[in-house]
Structure 1
Amino acid sequence: MQEKGKIRLGISIGDLNGIGCEVVLRTFEDVRMLDFCTPIIFASNKTISNQKSALGIEINYNGIQEPAKALDGKVNVINVWREALVPEFGTPTPESGSFAIQSLKAAVTALKNDEIDLLITAPINKNNIQAEDFKFPGHTDYLAQELEGESLMFMVSDGLRIGLLTDHVAVKDVAAAITPKLIRSKITTMEKSLKMDFGIRKPKIALLGINPHSGDNGVIGKEDDEILKPVIKEMIEKGHLVFGPYSADSFFGSDNYKQFDAILAAYHDQGLIPFKTLSFGKGVNFTAGLNKVRTSPDHGTAYEIAGKGIADHSSFKEAVFAGLNIFKNRLEYKELTSDILKKQKLKR
């Protein structure tokens, strides 16, 4: 982190034919946002100028060549490329996918080099990003490779936090992918994140069952009894507040989720359907467990409304505030644990 000045917020621009650029620019069209951070958009001056004109957005920006040149109180745009891509709103193209990945790679490099403090990613398309040097189903998998730590896809909002045991895995492969080692790893990562990133001293975590009704004692499936329950019992015996498995169909409708600090879902839709139903527009996708902070809005490219100037930027704005809060919480946690270690050494 920079010793002086505001937190430097890196932004990868996403698919330029979707709503990514619009929600980014709409967020910082409100100049009050510049009181909280210094945004650095990884794209190009020409790209931002074209998007501004097409969308009718009034925003001034500062063109720079490297993060160190970013100015506080300004929206800064790094020239990652020189080409002037004219947006084809609503249409995923190889070009828009290529620019999305160029932006992401440049932003992640800056993040790894501590040239920016955290990263907010605008939505990409999982199909047109595929290339010889990029074969990932999404941001999370790429970041897990590039950054240190054990990643956890963690959907968060004010009153709800849902993590995933398996994220971008086909439903037919879910049960085989869930192992005792994976469960322990995800629980540990979630617990650490709740302490370090959200300031919860003794997190209480619920696990959702893999099968309907958590297997009904083996009638519908044995995975819950043979894989989930033994690990939960083991974690409880070690002092962790981990409970379940709970039947996913009634867990949210009964408001049972409100009794826990976070929920660990077995697979993607089991966790994201209730999350987006309860928090859409206010939810944030946070990649927990890594040595750097990355958040994103809880929506995709929304090609159907791209270029119409009607995209809701609320979730991207929430992603900015969530990222800033998590970054600050980590600094405080680091200082606190450092002080505790110093006191322990003095007592010896």
Structure 2
Amino acid sequence: MSQQQSKPVIGVSVGDVNGIGTEVIIKTFADHRILELCTPLIFGSNKLINFYRKSSPEMNFNYQTTKDFSRIVQKQINIYNCWEEEIAISPGQLTDVGGSYAVKSLTMGVEALRDKKIQGLVTAPIHKKNIQSPSFSFTGHTPYLKKAFNANDVLMLMVSEGFRVGLVTEHVPIKDVAGFITREAILSKLTILRDSLIRDFGIDKPRIAVLGLNPHAGDEGLIGKEEEEIIKPAIKDAKHQMLVFGPYSADAFFARNYHSRFDAVLAMYHDQGLIPFKSLASGEGVNYTAGLPMVRTSPDHGTAFDIAGKNKADNTSFIAAIYTCIDIIRNRQEYDENRRNPLKKMGSVVLANAEDEKIEEN
């Protein structure tokens, strides 16, 4: 395995400069054990890092700055200076500066990812209101990444160890959700989800559950027609290509722990999937954009303006986002290598079976 394969360069966007993003980045990489697994490249500025480092003086956060990708130093924290000017940093405040520099960090990180200067990107939280401008009119990271990589479709996939929840619709007003639930949309999301489970998570024959849109999954058409007319036909079509089941009533599904029987769940809308996910993931959830040619993850929380700059932010989800990014990069490399060299995979299976037989004999 090459050095690049064994220890990828992970780009990190800083998010809203007035939110908790920079703080959780500092807390995460101050634990130098993570440098044994990846080389971080933070898209921001040394002045921003130094501002928040003062709030955590006990953190052993040393770094080197660069504007040259060929000068990234292994086993060190690297800061890619996206701007040199002084900016007004106001922790906890929703400002135009916070949004514009969040976009600057993000777009430079995505450009580096697209140009394969980095192997993965972990994005700190942005605020959806102050990022809006004539040149950036997206409701969040996911639709921006879809356009940036010219993807036909992408899937917002929440991940926490073996628990995964994907969404058919993302940041859509509740009154508009039903209009986005089409057979084509469900089939597209299911295909991305299946392919991601196989390539990104190493699951050969993934089992996927689909939730209904209406209470009690429509009660055979008594509470809405979407299940009978759209969701069930989509599942029937998908069964030709994958192991997919449903539609399930969302409340009973999670209350009865049915999600543990499946490799992933496809929810119809944001809160239907994210409320149970965040409740059960216990602050360790990760947002992964499936369907992209490159790997992007983020923590499952927002800018948390209420605690920004107070050294109170929990970096557990951000650490999980780093680890998930690294794991998916390695899973993809292994999957692609096995496709190029199927005899290698066959040998691995034979060896594993031999080990199993040896254990049984003992």
Which TM-score band applies after superposition, normalised by the shorter structure?
over 0.9
Distance 1:242 1:133, change over 3 A: same
- Compute the displacement of 1:86 (Å): 4.2
Tell me the SS of whatever aligns to 1:16. coil
Write the distance in 2 (CA, Å) between the matches of 1:274 and 1:308: 29
Write the distance in 1 (CA, Å) between the matches of 2:50 and 2:116: 28
Match of 1:225 among 218, 224, 228: 228
- Compute the displacement of 1:87 (Å): 2.2
- Compute the displacement of 1:55 (Å): 3.8
C-alpha contact 2:125 2:303 (8 A) present in aligned 1: yes
Distance 1:201 1:144, change over 3 A: same
Write the distance in 2 (CA, Å) between the matches of 1:73 and 1:3: 13
| Counterpart residue type for residue 176 of structure 1 | G
Encode CA deviations 1:302-330: one digit per residue, 9 max, x unaligned.
Answer: 11111110110000000000000001000
C-alpha contact 1:280 1:298 (8 A) present in aligned 2: no
Tell me the SS of whatever aligns to 2:92. coil
Write the distance in 2 (CA, Å) between the matches of 1:311 and 1:69: 31
Structure 1 gaps of 5+ residues are 344-348
- Compute the displacement of 1:58 (Å): 3.5
- Compute the displacement of 1:135 (Å): 0.1
| Counterpart residue type for residue 37 of structure 1 | C
C-alpha contact 1:110 1:116 (8 A) present in aligned 2: yes
Does 1:71 pair with 2:59? no
Write the distance in 2 (CA, Å) between the matches of 1:314 and 1:239: 36
C-alpha contact 1:148 1:291 (8 A) present in aligned 2: no
Distance 1:172 1:51, change over 3 A: same
Write the distance in 1 (CA, Å) between the matches of 2:266 and 2:215: 16
Tell me the SS of whatever aligns to 2:222. coil
C-alpha contact 1:40 1:67 (8 A) present in aligned 2: no
1:277-288 mapped onto 2 (5 Å cutoff): 277-288=279-290
1:116-135 mapped onto 2 (5 Å cutoff): 116-135=118-137
Give the superposed CA RMSD.
1.7
Between 1:108-117 and 1:139-148, the stretch displaced more is 139-148
Between 1:334-343 and 1:241-250, the stretch displaced more is 334-343
Name the structure 1 match of 2:175: 172
Runs of 4+ in 1 over 6 A off after TM superposition: none
Write the distance in 1 (CA, Å) between the matches of 2:291 and 2:321: 17
Distance 1:324 1:148, change over 3 A: farther
Name the structure 1 match of 2:31: 30
Match of 2:251 among 249, 252, 273: 249
Write the distance in 2 (CA, Å) between the matches of 1:271 and 1:339: 38
Encode CA deviations 1:109-128: one digit per residue, 9 max, x unaligned.
Answer: 00011100100000000001
Tell me the SS of whatever aligns to 2:175. helix
Does 1:114 pair with 2:116? yes
Name the structure 1 match of 2:330: 328
Write the distance in 1 (CA, Å) between the matches of 2:343 and 2:139: 40
Encode CA deviations 1:122-161: one digit per residue, 9 max, x unaligned.
Answer: 0000001001100000000100111143310000001310
| Counterpart residue type for residue 128 of structure 1 | N
Between 1:270-279 and 1:49-58, the stretch displaced more is 49-58
Encode CA deviations 1:252-286: one digit per residue, 9 max, x unaligned.
Answer: 11011111000000000000000000003211000
1:5-44 mapped onto 2 (5 Å cutoff): 6-44=7-45
Match of 2:208 among 205, 210, 213: 205
Write the distance in 2 (CA, Å) between the matches of 1:221 and 1:130: 35
1:176-191 mapped onto 2 (5 Å cutoff): 176-191=179-194
Write the distance in 1 (CA, Å) between the matches of 2:148 and 2:109: 12
Write the distance in 2 (CA, Å) between the matches of 1:328 and 1:58: 28
- Compute the displacement of 1:168 (Å): 1.1
Write the distance in 2 (CA, Å) between the matches of 1:239 and 1:127: 40
Between 1:262-271 and 1:3-12, the stretch displaced more is 3-12
Q: TM-score, normalised by structure 1?
A: 0.95
Write the distance in 2 (CA, Å) between the matches of 1:19 and 1:298: 13
Name the structure 2 match of 1:346: none
Write the distance in 2 (CA, Å) between the matches of 1:329 and 1:276: 25
C-alpha contact 1:55 1:307 (8 A) present in aligned 2: no
| Counterpart residue type for residue 282 of structure 2 | F
C-alpha contact 2:21 2:125 (8 A) present in aligned 1: yes
C-alpha contact 2:338 2:344 (8 A) present in aligned 1: no
Distance 1:305 1:331, change over 3 A: same
- Compute the displacement of 1:178 (Å): 1.1
Structure 2 gaps of 5+ residues are 346-362
C-alpha contact 1:12 1:122 (8 A) present in aligned 2: yes
Name the structure 2 match of 1:157: 160
C-alpha contact 2:5 2:330 (8 A) present in aligned 1: no
